[in-house]
Amino acid sequence: MTSQCHQNLTYFSININDPQSLDTILNLPYETINDDVERIGRLPNNDTIALKGGNDIKRNDGITGTINFEWRFDKMNLTMVVSRIE
């Protein structure tokens, strides 16, 4: 993925059941943030979603995506909100 192709991405949620996909995501450079830090993202329907803690990944255009992982049944759920953090 390149930042030029996904500049309008603000929210993303997916179930991951393929170990290779999870390895690819976990190999991205990231910064772990404290559990008391909350990021607010905007959903496509203009509602907001809050994520506490997680891992920040930074695109080359300065936009930060915060990723949270949680197990749901036998799959890993990845939720990402995108925000501009100065």
Residue 24's alpha-carbon distances to 9, 28, 29, in angstroms, are 19, 7, 11
Using one digit for the tens of pLDDT, what is the confidence trace for 6-61?
777 788 888 888 878 878 887 889 999 999 999 888 888 889 888 899 999 887 77
Question: Counting beta carbons within 10 angstroms of the beta carbon of residue 65, is it exposed (0 to 12), middle (13 to 18) or buried (19 or more)?
Answer: buried
Using one digit for the tens of pLDDT, what is the confidence trace for 54-64?
999 887 778 88
Q: Which of 62, 67, 79, 8 is nearest to 32 (CA)?
A: 67
DSSP 33: E
